[in-house]
Amino acid sequence: MDDHRAWAESEFGDADFGDVRLTYRLVRMAARAGKNPRGVVAQVFKEGAERQGAYDLLGNGRVSSKAVIAAVGSATARRCNDDETVRLVIDGTSLSMADKANTKELGSVGAHKFRTRGIKVVNVYAVDQRGVPVGLLDIAAWRRKKKTKKAGRFVRRRDGKSEMACHWCPALETAVARLQEVRPGARPWIIGDRECDDARFLRLANSLGTFTVRAAQNRLVEPQRGRKRKLFSVARAGRSYGTRVVDIPATPMRPARVATLEIRVATTKVLLPLHDNGGHRDPLLVSVVYVREVGRVRGARLEWILLTNAPVESEAQADEVVASYRARWRVEEYHRAWKAGACDAEATQLRSFEAIVKWFTLLGTVASRAERIKQLSRSEPDALASIELADVEIVALISAKRLIKNSVEKVPNGVPTLEVATRWIADLGGYAGHYKGYKPGATTIMRGLQELAIWTQAATEFMTKGEIKRRLR
């Protein structure tokens, strides 16, 4: 009956700590956090014994963060479809936390001169073919060591010790392995931003599946007729594949806009350095998809140089590469919902590194669920809400919405569409909705879900199954 319980069960029920009681406790804890997500543990668990239980579990050495992440990753893999392309968006971020007394197990994040402390994270986020988030396949978390004298922006660490080699690449490998273990027919398409333009990463991604990575470095490419050539000039001189008109979502720096993009395609071999072999380079055959905003532009013109190993021989294939890179927005939205937004993971006051990682993994599953509902309501607006909500939740939603509806809104009995239900949930969460063309985001949806949980609890206690069924007919 309890929908949050069923969700928590599917997300964490597989966690293996060698003791089923620990798994059971984690599921209960997740169900509570799903109902009432907050960054501060004490605000989620308000009853004394339950709160102590939560702290005990987070501090329990037998419950490793690795096992918690593994359970979440496998649950995501199971939700993926076999025989379909699954987009694996990999992105780094950091969670910064207050630590005035310097008593927490954190490291430095951002520029050293700012003294910000926190934890570095790489997420591998699965997005399906429609662009709907499926969840997290892997999370790598680490804290930076104290600054050593030589480490600076322009002093390279030995390749084998870089964050790319120690955290990014293993996270990607684990994510792909998890997906292929449960869904051997799924085709991974790895997507990364400019941070992923790294020789080691590109070689690995190329060996694991299809990839799209935005180029950051103007690398040497295979010479032509004995003349040296560079990647960016090859990209700009590519064959034109016409223009496309696309919606560009808003960023903190600028509003959403409609952009006209020119697409050019070239095929070449980029020469990737072999770090353990002097100045030698290893060629990798790629297609270069060059995307540039044309026409009048206010602010910075959008310009992407995308490296891919996908075949790009037609306009449709070029569009597919651009679409794959646009799926990267999903992970940015997820980071917002997770770190700030309704989950507010950065507000945690926990001290131990392990406890923090366990706790933010748990909050991450809550955030990705809200992102999934949001995106699903946009890509499948006419589907019935029953694909995401239990019957009792729908009945509770109808009652709750009736209480706050205005005089022209109609709230009939029966199962609403996903779009309508999501709008009602957001209304419960305080969605203003007076900007034309805007749709509710994950923060209001999550607040609405919290409100709905209270109504659902009441409906569960005071209504029989028969009554619920009757209302939905």
Using CB under 5 A as the criterion, which residues of the chain lie in contact with Mn ion when the complex forms? 91, 193
Question: Alpha-carbon dihedral of residues 95, 100, 105, 109, nearest 10 degrees?
Answer: 40
Residues 6+ apart with CB under 8 A from 209: 88, 176, 187, 188, 189, 190
Strands 187-192 and 85-96 come out as parallel
Considering beta carbons, is residue 4 or 120 the nearer one to Mn ion? 120
Considering beta carbons, is residue 138 or 193 the nearer one to Mn ion? 193
The C-alpha atoms of residue 466 and residue 9 are separated, in whole angstroms, by 26
Rounded to the nearest whole angstrom, what is the least distance from the CB of residue 368 to Mn ion in the complex? 17
Considering beta carbons, is residue 44 or 196 the nearer one to Mn ion? 196
Rounded to the nearest whole angstrom, what is the least distance from the CB of residue 80 to Mn ion in the complex? 23
Considering beta carbons, is residue 11 or 193 the nearer one to Mn ion? 193
Rounded to the nearest whole angstrom, what is the least distance from the CB of residue 120 to Mn ion in the complex? 12
Considering beta carbons, is residue 204 or 266 the nearer one to Mn ion? 204
Considering beta carbons, is residue 91 or 371 the nearer one to Mn ion? 91
Return contacts of 189-194, CB within 8 angstroms, 24+ apart.
Answer: 189/85, 189/86, 189/87, 189/88, 189/310, 189/324, 190/88, 190/90, 191/87, 191/88, 191/89, 191/90, 191/324, 191/325, 191/327, 191/328, 192/89, 192/90, 192/91, 193/91, 193/328
CA distance between the termini of the chain: 19
Rounded to the nearest whole angstrom, what is the least distance from the CB of residue 195 to Mn ion in the complex? 5
Q: Kindly tell me the burial class for residue 403, based on how many C-beta atoms sit within 10 Å of its own C-beta (0-12, 13-18, 19 or more).
A: exposed
Considering beta carbons, is residue 193 or 388 the nearer one to Mn ion? 193
Rounded to the nearest whole angstrom, what is the least distance from the CB of residue 334 to Mn ion in the complex? 12
Which two three-digit tokens encode residue 200? Answer: 């080691």
Question: 26-55: b or e for each residue (b if 16 or more CB lie within 10 Å)?
Answer: bbbbbbbbbbbbbbebeebbeeeeeeebbe
**Closest C-alpha to 312, from 339, 337, 341, 287:** 287
Rounded to the nearest whole angstrom, what is the least distance from the CB of residue 217 to Mn ion in the complex? 16
Q: What are phi and psi of 268, to 5 degrees?
A: -155, 175
Rounded to the nearest whole angstrom, what is the least distance from the CB of residue 175 to Mn ion in the complex? 16
Considering beta carbons, is residue 111 or 316 the nearer one to Mn ion? 111
In 128-256 the beta strands, taken as DSSP E runs, fall at 133-142, 187-192, 210-214, 220-224, 227-230, 239-248
Considering beta carbons, is residue 193 or 293 the nearer one to Mn ion? 193
Rounded to the nearest whole angstrom, what is the least distance from the CB of residue 335 to Mn ion in the complex? 9
Considering beta carbons, is residue 73 or 192 the nearer one to Mn ion? 192
The C-alpha atoms of residue 108 and residue 39 are separated, in whole angstroms, by 20
Rounded to the nearest whole angstrom, what is the least distance from the CB of residue 440 to Mn ion in the complex? 25
Q: Alpha carbon of 361 to those of 5, 107, 108, 391: distances in Å?
A: 17, 18, 20, 28
Rounded to the nearest whole angstrom, what is the least distance from the CB of residue 168 to Mn ion in the complex? 11
Asked if residue 289 lies in contact with residue 263, where contact means CB atoms within 8 angstroms, the answer is: yes
Considering beta carbons, is residue 168 or 424 the nearer one to Mn ion? 168
Strands 227-230 and 239-248 come out as unpaired
Rounded to the nearest whole angstrom, what is the least distance from the CB of residue 450 to Mn ion in the complex? 29
